[in-house]
Structure 1
Amino acid sequence: MEEIDMNSEWSLDVLYKGFDDPKFSEDLTSFEKKAKELDELSKTLSHENEKEDLIRIVKALEEFELLEKHLSCFGFLSQSTNTANTKAAAAIDKVATIASTASKAMAVFSRYISDMKDLNSYLDCPELCEYKYFLNDIHESGKYLLSEDVEEALAKMNISGGSAWEKQQSLLTSSLEVEYDGKKLPLASVRNLAYDADKEVRKAAYEAEIKSYAPIADAVSFSLNNIKLQVITEAKMRGYTSPMDMTLHQSHVSQKTLDALLSAMQKYLPVFHKYLKRKAEILGYENGLPWYELFAPVGKSATTSFTPETTKEYLVNHFRPFCDELADMMEEAFDNNWIDFYPHKGKVGGAFCCNMPFVKQSRVLTNFDGGLGDVVTLAHELGHAYHGLNIESHKPLNWEYSMPVAETASTFNENIIMNAVIDETEDKEVKLGLIENQLQDLCQIICDIYSRYLFEKAVFDRRSDEFLFTDQLNEIMLDAQKQAYGDGLDPTCLHPYMWVCKSHYYSSDLSYYNWPYAFGGLFARGLIVKYQEMGKEEFVPKYKEMLHTTTVASVEDTASVLGIDLTDEAFWISALETAKSRIEEFIELSK
């Protein structure tokens, strides 16, 4: 029992022992000094010595990046498990403020690089050769740059603008206590009851959750409205045609790829509606599935409850046949306190993975409740960690992968574990339950993600001309859910407040963080098809190469490592066909 308690929370000691750690203060001082050095460097640039200047810029940015990653990760991770942590909040603000003072220099560097006539002639030297994609991307993005003063002003204003509104949503939802069954529970705990075996528990939890949002909805609506208006304004100022245009550029993906993905999804929505209607029939509903039954268990569960120890064994045993390196990393994550497991007041909801390639580790947050869904969630997040492992050999400015490929390794992991467990199960009722679990996840990344995409698009389309109050946002959300779920759900029992609890909408730097989940999910299924075609010996090295490539190539070029054309709708349809097969298998088994 002692070991379970010891490993149920993550350790951040690899970064700092605490906010009082002398190393933290020392790095904060160094970070401030580096920001000033960037500013000084920006004033000395001359196109007479471009190669030397470029080397100096890259070296200074690497040093700045390393300090910022250490400091900001520590603040973010500390606040994630305790949103009321005043030291974390102060540190986050301090780091953001210092970083904003370097924004003018960053704009000068970007302008300087974008004005170079012979950039590629400098990129063969040891200091620059690994930054070809990074530097060429800056060069080509020059047309979207604003003046240095405006770039600096935007960065500073964002601290009390979009970033502050994002924190308001996070604080309100993470500290929200839901009245349920005579007790006050964290929102994450109540949402977890959607997986409970008892229908009355699921329904009561849904009703309690919906009721709990009313007191904070207006405040959160101000967060959403102001963040989206800020993004609209910035996109126009920079010369993008829309926030989506800006997102696609930042994501290194083409409109043609997104169109192919969305077109394939739309064509296969009726297939998922068929699954939902069959599940409704199994549970005794005639008008489609009520929202609170989306995650209702069907069939028989193979394992009723997991602990961190049994979860570790389960994951490692199922991933070892695919890749020893991945299984070894999972063991390290469990053994060396990379994971923070259980929900509690003040801890943010949901789950995430924070890659820290600068210390060759990651940290995973989950709100663990012991069900199979939690095990799948951990497989997902540890996929992100494996992605991090495959990029850690890059230089510091090559550690960021774009939104669309961000969910690839994670969702690939989901497919690996679920397919293995389903295939090895002989009990019909257990197999039915496992397939239904997989279909729940697939339905989320197709129907629910599509509804989130429709919602955010509608908010962006309308926000320029009007402020969207709670009732209007609820209506937009309900309309999006009806379009995405069709007759698969009961139209009288949907989730109008889904915009309140989903943090993905509340970033001024990252818009439309919805379709990348569908992208990642279907891309992963397409990769599984490739894996089955190529076999382990040929596929795994190429898969690792592809993950390594994600930070130094466009999304399309990354996929081409495995011979995939993302602009061809046929690829996405091939992935969706595997989902269709599972749905047909579910319907047949459930008869």
Structure 2
Amino acid sequence: MTKVKYPEVWDLDVFFPGGSDSPQLREHLNLIAPQLTSFEEKAQQFKVPESVAAAGEIAELLEEITKIRTDIGQARSFIGCLLAQNTTDKKASVLQAEVSGIQAQLTTAMQKVQKTLTNTEDSVWQSLLEMESLHPFTFVLNEWREQAKQKLSEEEESLITALTADGYEAWGNLYNSVVGEMKIHIGDKALSVGQANNLKSNSDENIRKEAYQALEKAWTEKEDLLAKILNHLAGFRLNVYKKRGWNDVLQEPLAYNRMKQETLDAMWGAISKHKQPFVDYLKQKATLLGKEKLEWHDLQAPVSSSTQKLEYQDAAEFILKHFGQFGPELESFSRKAFEEGWIEAEDRPNKRVGGFCTGLPKSEQSRIFMTYSGTIGNMATLAHELGHAFHSHAMKSVHGLNRQYAMNVAETASTFAEMIVFDAAVKETTSDAEKIYLLEEKVKRSMMFYMNIHARFLFETRFYEERKNGIVSASRLNELMHEAQKEAYVGVLDEFDPHAWASTLHFYITYVPFYNFPYTFGYLFSLSIYAKALEEGEGFEEKYMAMLRDTAVMSAEDLAMKHLGEDITQEAFWEKGIALSVKDAEEFLTLTSK
């Protein structure tokens, strides 16, 4: 039987043939304008509801919002894919700016509706939410009302939104352009940042060190420009906070993630108390590599000689096999993604850094972006992004207005899919060397969430506090990052990565700050779900999908209580997940001590 050969370059023409020159894309964007004008007029005429008679008008506005959001989302994701696959696509950059302007228009009109709803008398509001046409949107409408109460007047918020496209969104886009055009010179090759990053896990220390030094040189050359971008992005955001009377820089990210400060504190508190097994792992790794202390360029180094190249086709088959053992829906959906060219995996120049999954809501499809170079880590990234896509697939039956899930729960399905693949790989191997290699890949991921992400959180918290008092220089940013890494890694390393503030694109994402702790939340949250899946076995997939469908219509605390029966404001919940990952670290230590 001949194996299916899955495409390694995604199919975007199915949406808008011709890329950034697509006439269909131009037509799609042109058709949004009259819809938006119509909605803006209705938003201006919308009056404070005085009785349940307003339910029909509100329901109509919600449908229009959903339709326009879907059309904008389709264009935004498509253009984002164009820029990811070719960072030199200047026409796509122009289109991206155009879509940002359209999004700002919609946001302004929506703010008018939200402010008007805020002024609804409480008893009328409750009666409205009981109406059949509005009841399904109770959570979203209450959230809108609460958010509007905490913001400035309609006119002031409209001004902020109008300035966003040429304000902090522009700074974020500039960062992507600068990094996308960077060339990292290693030997006689000029690599993209993404290609150079892939060398960090090479088994040859000389190659790893050369890649680290070349990247460090490149970031140093760009540090003043990147420091300006980061400072202006943060400055814009802090000025908005100041106008709104928000003193806590975590207010927006916590609200965005629909979680409490107590939950965040409990998570970091539990992690800080249980880092020792991972410190022991790093010490053992140093010993295995013949060093007293690890240097930063050694963090991704393999300690096992079992580092054979894993072809993309083999990785796809492995993922499908083990997704199928979890549930038929996950397997059939992922097979469709592979066969229909939803995945951009080819290793070539001019691609942007990292990996992502983006939804094209009008087509009810996703696209996955990464650079596959043949490692187990690449296979895990592929499974991770397929998990994101499956999350969107699970919500196809949900109304578009109830699909806006937050970042923390967004990382749940992705990390869950990653764990299926890693656990399967560990169980299938019969070689100690292979098992050590795979266990270390799992431990490195735990270390990423407990140490690297913790360092990012500490850095960003401290940077924003200093930025309140003025511009923070590149040299000071290096110091802040060094201090954060030293604390997060409990001083176990001999060398750090002071320019991580420049190389971490998450610090430059504009729609919300602190895109760090959601990863750790999602990792530990999915560990608990994974443990439940192992306990219940066959048939858990339906419960899992039901939980995914709820991710956009309840707080993180309520979601955990409903589907796991757990109180996530307590450290005890997080310690259960940490305990599972500690087992991997302990098994690694046992095997490598023989």
TM range (shorter): over 0.9
Q: Give the CA RMSD over aligned residues.
A: 1.7
* 1:152 alignment partner in structure 2: 158
Label 1:75 to 1:520 Cα distance change in 2 as closer, same or farther (>3 A).
Answer: same
What whole-Å deviation, never above 9, does each CA across 1:304-345 have from its counterpart, x for those lacking one? 122332121111112111111111111111111101112433
Q: Report whether the alignment pairs 1:364 with 2:365.
A: no
Superimposed CA distance per residue, residues 369-417 of structure 1 (whole angstroms, 9 cap, x where no aligned partner): 1111100010111110111111122112222111111111111112111
Partner of 1:451: 455
Whether the aligned pair in 1 keeps the contact of 2:180 and 2:353 (CA below 8 Å) is yes
Q: Deviations over 1:332-359 (max 9, x none)?
A: 1111110111243331101011123432
| Alignment correspondent of 1:578 | 580
Unaligned runs of at least 5 residues, structure 1: none
Give 1:590 shift: 0.2
Partner AA of 2:512 in structure 1 = L
- Equivalence for 1:36: 37
Query: SS state of the match for residue 364, structure 1?
Result: strand
Residue 500 of structure 2 corresponds to 498
Give 2:68's aligned amino acid. F
- Residue 323 (structure 2) pairs with residue 319 (structure 1): yes
SS class of match (1:486) = coil
2: distance between equivalents of 1:481 and 1:194? 18
Partners of 1:458 and 1:141 lie apart in 2 by 26
- Alignment pair present for 1:349 and 2:350: no
Taking structure 2 as the reference length, what is the TM-score of the superposition?
0.95
Whole-angstrom CA distance in 2 between matches of 1:237 and 1:270: 43
Q: Which of 398, 404, 407 is equivalent to 2:411?
A: 407
Matches within 5 A, 1:109-258: 109-117=113-121, 118-258=124-264
* Counterpart residue type for residue 575 of structure 2: I
Which residue matches 1:381? 385
Contact 1:398 1:551 in 2 (8 A): yes
Alignment identity in percent? Answer: 31
Query: Is the 2:203–2:302 contact (alpha carbons within 8 Å) kept by the matching residues of 1?
Result: yes
2:571 paired residue number:
569
Q: More displaced, 18-27 or 475-484? A: 18-27
The AA in structure 1 aligned to 2:534 is Q
Q: Deviations over 1:528-548 (max 9, x none)?
A: 2222333333x3222111111
Deviations 1:78-137 (A, max 9, x none): 111112212211111112212223333211100112222222322344532321111111
Alpha-carbon offset, residue 562 of structure 1: 2.3
Aligned to 1:9: 9
Residue deviations 1:460-509 (CA, integer Å, cap 9, x gap): 1100102111111111111111001123211xx21111111111001332
Number of residues paired by the alignment?
Answer: 584
One of 50, 55, 59 as aligned partner of 2:54: 50
In the other structure, the counterpart of 1:263 is 269
Q: 1:338 aligns with which of 332, 342, 364?
A: 342
**Structure 2 stretches lacking a partner, 5+ long:** none
Task: Give the Cα–Cα distance (whole angstroms) in 2 for the partners of residues 4 and 191 of structure 1.
Answer: 30
In structure 2, the CA distance between the partners of 1:201 and 1:22, relative to structure 1 (3 Å rule), is: closer
Give secondary structure in 1 for the equivalent of 2:45.
Answer: coil
Do 1:351 and 1:367's aligned partners in 2 also have CA atoms closer than 8 Å?
Answer: yes
Of 233-242 and 58-67, more deviation after overlay is shown by: 233-242
Would you say 1:70 and 2:79 are equivalent positions? no
The residue aligned with 2:314 is: 310
Q: Secondary structure at the match of 2:325?
A: coil
Q: What SS does structure 2 have at the residue aligned with 1:141?
A: helix
Residue 441 in structure 1 maps to residue 445 in structure 2 = yes
Hey, what's the Cα distance between the residues in 2 that align with 1:103 and 1:412? 33
Instruction: For residue 52 of structure 1, report the CA deviation from its aligned partner.
Output: 2.7
**Deviation (angstroms), 1:223:** 0.9
Instruction: Determine the C-alpha separation between the residues in 2 that align with 1:534 and 1:4.
Output: 33
How far the C-alpha of 1:6 sits from its partner, in A, is 8.0
Runs of 4+ in 1 over 6 A off after TM superposition: 3-6
Contact 1:4 1:308 in 2 (8 A): no
1:103 pairs with 2:104: no
CA–CA separation in structure 2 for the residues paired with 1:98 and 1:168: 19
In the alignment, is residue 554 of structure 1 matched against residue 560 of structure 2? no
Contact 1:228/1:508 (CA < 8 Å) preserved in 2?
no
TM-score (norm 1): 0.95
Contact 2:55 2:131 in 1 (8 A): no
Letter in 1 for 2:10: W
C-alpha contact (below 8 Å) 1:343/1:349 kept by paired residues? no
Residue identity opposite 1:14 in structure 2:
V
Letter in 1 for 2:445: D
**Corresponding residue SS for 2:489:** helix
Whole-angstrom distance in 1 between the partners of 2:103 and 2:216: 39
Whether the 8 Å CA contact 2:70–2:361 is kept in 1: the answer is no
Is 1:535 the counterpart of 2:540? The answer is no
CA distance in 1, matches of 2:136, 2:504: 37
Q: Distance in 2 between matches of 1:146 and 1:98?
A: 22
- Equivalent pair of 1:105/1:148 in contact (CA under 8 Å): no
Instruction: Mark the CA change 1:10 to 1:4 in structure 2 (over 3 Å): closer, same or farther.
Output: farther
CA deviations 1:122-172 (Å, max 9, x no partner) are: 234453232111111112222222222222211121111111111121111
Instruction: Tell which deviates more after alignment, 498-507 or 452-461.
Output: 498-507
Counterpart amino acid of 2:420? I
In 2, the alpha carbon distance for the partners of 1:213 and 1:556 equals 40
Q: Distance in 1 between matches of 2:266 and 2:536?
A: 25
Secondary structure in 1 matching 2:472: coil
Please say if residues 65 and 397 of structure 1, whose CA atoms lie closer than 8 Å, have aligned partners that are also in contact: no
CA distance in 2, matches of 1:14, 1:62: 23
Deviations 1:208-252 (A, max 9, x none): 111111221111111111111112121222233322011111211
Secondary structure, in 3 states, of the residue corresponding to 1:494? coil
Q: 1:202 to 1:21 in 2, by over 3 A?
A: closer
CA deviations 1:46-83 (Å, max 9, x no partner) are 23452232122112212211211111111111111112
CA contact (8 A) 1:402 1:551 kept: yes
2:427 aligned to which of 400, 423, 426:
423
Residue 289 (structure 1) aligned to one of 279, 294, 312: 294
Describe the superposition over 1:432-479 as per-residue Cα deviations: whole angstroms up to 9, x where unpaired.
111011111111111000000001001111001021111111111111
